[in-house]
Structures are given as C-alpha cells and as structure tokens.
C-alpha cells in the first residue's frame, strides 16, 4: 500500500530508508519547537499555546506536503519571519500580536491564490537574483542581531545605538559557549547539531542554577489563548499592506528556493530542471501558513533542513509523513520547552544567521548595479530592525541604479512597480 501511494519503487527507495530520512530531517529542525515559542512570547503571546501551535502547524503542513505533493520536504514556522513578527511588527511598529497574526493569515491566503494561478512562476522569475540572495542574507543578519540581543552580548546605547553588553553575566557566557558548541558539532557533521547544543546549553544553565527546570513531559497546554485569535479586519488597514506583502514575499521566494534546492539534491528535477508537482507543493506550503495563523504562530514555510533527509535517501512524501508524526508527538514535551530560556535559543538563532548570510557570496561582485543594491538590502534589515524596510530599500536602490546606468531594460515591469509602491509607503506610511 505504501509503495503504491508514495511510489517508493519508482523513486528507488523503501520504507526503512524513508523513515530513517524522516527522523534525520526532524532532528535537524526540531530546534524550532524551542526557539519559536521563545521568539513569539516576547509579544505577550502565551508560551504554551505557541508551543502547541508550532508543533501542530509543523505537523499538519508537513503531512500535507507528504500526502498531497509527495515531496520529502518538512515545514515549520520560518526562522526570520518569526523574528520579524515579534521584533519588527509587534515591538517595532507597536501592532498587537493579534493584528500581526491577521497579516500572516492574509499573506497565506494570497499565497494560496498565487499557488493556483499560472502567474506564480512569472512573479518568482521577475525578481532579480541579486535581491533574492540579498534578502536571504539580510534576514540572516537580522536574526544575528536578535540573537546577540537575546544573549545580552549586544545592548542598546544612547550615543552609539548599540554597545557590548556585560560578558561576565552567566547568560552571556552560556550563550557564547552554546554557539561554539553548535559550530563544533556542525563541523563534525553530527545530525541534530543545533538541537543537541541548545539542550546542552539549557541543561548547563539549569544545573548551575541560572534558570529553573520546568519538567519534561505533561499533557499538552491549551491552544485557546492563540487559536483563531488573528485580527484580520485590523490587518486589512492600508498601513499594514507592506507587512502583509513582506510575509508573502519572503515566504514565496523562500519556499521556491527551498523546494528547488531540496529537489535538486534528491534528484527529483525533470530533464529540463523543473520541479514536478510544483503547484501541489506550493499549495501545501501556502495552506500551512493559513492554518498556522489560525492556530497561533507566524508564517509556516518549507525548511531547507529537509536536505538532511534527502542526503540519507529520502525521496518521497513518506519522509515528510514521518517528520509530521514526530512533530505531533512533541506536543507532550511542553515543560521541556519551557525550561529552555532565551540565552539557550540565542546560539541556534546565531548559527542559522550564519547559514543564511552566505547569500552575500552569491552576488555578482563584478557588477556594481547588482551587488550595491544587494548590500543595501542586506544591511538595511538589521540596521532598521525591519525586514520589510530592507526589502523596500533594495527594490528602490536597484531600480534607481539600473535606470541611471542606462540599463532600465533589465528591470522588466514588476520591479519598478514594486519600487514605486515601497517609495509611496515610505513617504506616506513611514511607521506603518
């Protein structure tokens, strides 16, 4: 039955290989069940409810990807977008978390619409590669400054904006040690390096009395504080259009890049280098974002960590189904998630920041009209503490430079339109 449904034989795989691949993928991304509640809790959202929402949305999204699209790709609330949700939209712009959830919900609905329309590929292809790479790197830099702030390594300063924190504090020392351990384990190619280092850092803090221990297993916390709490009406305000667009934009291109990358490593691309069943995969991802917002978490997206599973032979949706089941089982480990403080999740954030920042190396450093807007995009995100602002700065800069360089033909028509929209947003809704 499994062979017929997932076409295991056609893909040259078997049950044991697929399950092993699913466990491998889960271990590489399980850190999100500890990091996401920690990131979203700063908005005032209930930690336990977000934990359950994280596990359930990851499970449902991954199961849909496996059962509907038959891809070995796992989904969960995206890193970077959760930080933008908390530190950019809620703390930075002052919107209630319910409104931010409404924006995530609307972006998911728009993504669903794009997923069933034939224009999605045209939109993806119209955005310059340099800006795609820069956006990924910029989100990494944004995550980096969030991680350093959570660890107390970087603190606010009235004159210099930021300054070095007190590195003698136990939390800062543990965070630094946790990051070094994460990198060391990753360099040894140890499966689950991030989550192992995260748990080791938290355990050290508990044993030394820096933070309390809440337990390991219990009945799942109530989902009621966040379930269907999104304020869609408020999110429809004109000043929030950029926020909705940012969630949509990042999710769309992050998903497309992840699907292509994982499919390429798994040998799933066709003879023309195209993704089979792309529409189903995009629809699975976009549906997961809608469900995630309804449950009470930030944007759910495909994870590049899925490549860890394909590296050990995962080729079908059975790999994803395995991951989904494991995420569902995690809802019983809420006390353990509550025992992981911000200083223990900071190393994971910083390591993911390092991984994403490599996008800068993909820029065309021989063409200033490509790398200059890319750098502006990347540094704009952490320095303005807003992913949306960085994206807007990138589009405006890219358009202006291409026109002044006499290379307006390279723009197409979508990029200038987006640049004008961002310019209007900065002029009329600078804080929206």
Low-confidence ranges of the chain (pLDDT < 70): 120-122, 124-125, 265, 269-274, 429-432
What is the rounded distance in angstroms from the CA atom of residue 111 to the CA atom of residue 256? Answer: 12
Residue that has been written with the tokens 């119209």 in this structure: 126
Specify whether the CB–CB gap between 240 and 69 falls below 8 A. Answer: no
Those residues with Cβ within 8 angstroms of residue 58's Cβ, 6 or more apart along the chain or in another chain: 32, 33, 74, 75, 76, 77, 300, 324, 327
Q: How many residues does the chain have?
A: 432
Residue 419: phi and psi, rounded to 5, are -60, -45
What is the predicted pLDDT for the residue at 274?
A: 67
Query: Do the bridges between strand 300-302 and strand 75-77 make them parallel or antiparallel, or are there none, so unpaired?
Result: antiparallel
Residue 75: phi and psi, rounded to 5, are -125, 155
SS (HEC) of the chain? CHHHHHCCCCCCCCHHHHHHHHHHHHHHHCCHHHHHHHHHHHHCCCHHHHHHHHHHHHHHHHHHHHHHHCCCCCEEECCCHHHHHHHHHHCCCCCCHHHHHHHHHHHHHHHHHHHHCCCHHHHHHHCCHHHHHHHHHHHHHHHHHHHHHHCCCEEEECCCEEEECCCCCHHHHHHHHHHHHHHHHHHCCCCCHHHHHHHHHHHHHHHCCCCCCCCCCCCCCCCCCCCCCCCHHHHCCHHHHHHHHHHHHHHHHHHHHHHHHHHHHHCCCCCCCCCCCHHHHHHHHHHHHHHHHHHCCCCEEECCCHHHHHCCCCCCHHHHHHHHHHHHHHHHHHHHHHCCCHHHHHHHHHHHHHHHHHHHHHCCCCCHHHHHHHHHHHHHHHHHCCHHHHHHHHHHHHHHHHHHCCCHHHHCCHHHHHHHHHHHHHHHCCCC
Hey, CA dihedral for 294, 53, 317, 80, is it positive or negative?
Answer: positive
Give which of 137, 128, 209 is closest to 415, Cα–Cα: 128
Those residues with Cβ within 8 angstroms of residue 133's Cβ, 6 or more apart along the chain or in another chain: 359, 360, 362, 363, 374
Residue that has been written with the tokens 């994460």 in this structure: 182
Residues 243-271 as b/e (b if ≥16 CB within 10 A, e otherwise) read bbbbbbbbbbbbbbbbbbbbbebbebeee
What is the rounded distance in angstroms from the CA atom of residue 166 to the CA atom of residue 101? Answer: 35
Mean pLDDT of the residues in the chain: 88
What is the predicted pLDDT for the residue at 282?
A: 87
Those residues with Cβ within 8 angstroms of residue 33's Cβ, 6 or more apart along the chain or in another chain: 51, 54, 55, 58, 327, 330, 333, 337
Q: How many CB atoms lie within 10 A of CB 219?
A: 8
What is the rounded distance in angstroms from the CA atom of residue 361 to the CA atom of residue 386? Answer: 22
What is the rounded distance in angstroms from the CA atom of residue 378 to the CA atom of residue 386? Answer: 11
What is the rounded distance in angstroms from the CA atom of residue 129 to the CA atom of residue 213? Answer: 46
């Amino acid at each position: 039955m499994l062979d017929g449904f997932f076409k295991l034989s056609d893909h040259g795989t078997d049950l044991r290989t697929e399950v092993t691949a699913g466990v491998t993928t889960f271990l590489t991304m399980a850190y999100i069940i500890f990091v996401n509640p920690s990131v979203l809790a700063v908005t005032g959202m209930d930690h336990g409810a977000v934990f359950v929402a994280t596990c359930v949305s990851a499970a449902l999204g991954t199961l849909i990807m496996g059962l509907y699209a038959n891809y070995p790709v796992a989904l969960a609330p995206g890193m970077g977008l959760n930080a933008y949700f908390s530190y950019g939209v809620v703390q930075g712009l002052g919107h209630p978390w319910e409104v931010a959830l409404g924006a995530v919900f609307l972006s998911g609905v728009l993504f669903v619409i794009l997923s069933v329309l034939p224009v999605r590929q045209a939109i993806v292809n119209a955005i310059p590669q340099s800006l795609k790479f820069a956006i990924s790197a910029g989100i990494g830099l944004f995550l980096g400054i969030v991680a350093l702030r959570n660890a107390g390594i970087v603190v606010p300063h009235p004159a210099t904006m930021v300054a070095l924190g007190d590195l003698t504090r136990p939390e800062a020392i543990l965070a630094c040690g946790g990051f070094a351990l994460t990198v060391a384990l990753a360099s040894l190619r140890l499966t689950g390096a991030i989550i192992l280092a995260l748990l080791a850092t938290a355990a050290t803090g508990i044993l030394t009395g820096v933070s309390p221990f809440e337990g390991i297993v219990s009945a799942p916390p109530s989902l009621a504080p966040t379930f269907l709490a999104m304020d869609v009406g408020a999110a429809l305000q004109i000043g929030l259009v950029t926020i909705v667009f940012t969630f949509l934009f990042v999710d769309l291109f992050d998903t497309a890049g992840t699907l292509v990358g994982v499919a390429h490593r798994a040998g799933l691309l066709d003879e023309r280098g195209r993704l089979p069943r792309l529409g189903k995969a995009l629809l699975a991802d976009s549906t997961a974002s809608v469900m995630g917002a309804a449950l009470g978490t930030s944007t759910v997206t495909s994870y590049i960590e899925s490549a860890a599973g394909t590296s050990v032979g995962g080729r079908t949706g059975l790999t994803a189904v395995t991951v989904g089941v494991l995420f569902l089982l995690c809802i019983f480990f809420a006390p353990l998630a509550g025992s992981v403080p911000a200083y223990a999740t900071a190393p994971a954030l910083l390591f993911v920041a390092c991984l994403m920042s490599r996008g800068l190396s993909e820029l065309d450093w021989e063409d200033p009209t490509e790398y200059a807007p890319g750098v502006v995009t990347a540094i704009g995100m952490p320095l303005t503490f807003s992913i949306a602002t960085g994206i807007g700065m990138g589009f405006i800069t890219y358009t202006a430079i291409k026109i002044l360089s006499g290379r307006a033909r390279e723009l197409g028509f979508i990029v200038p339109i987006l640049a004008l929209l961002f310019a209007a947003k900065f002029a009329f809704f600078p804080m929206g």
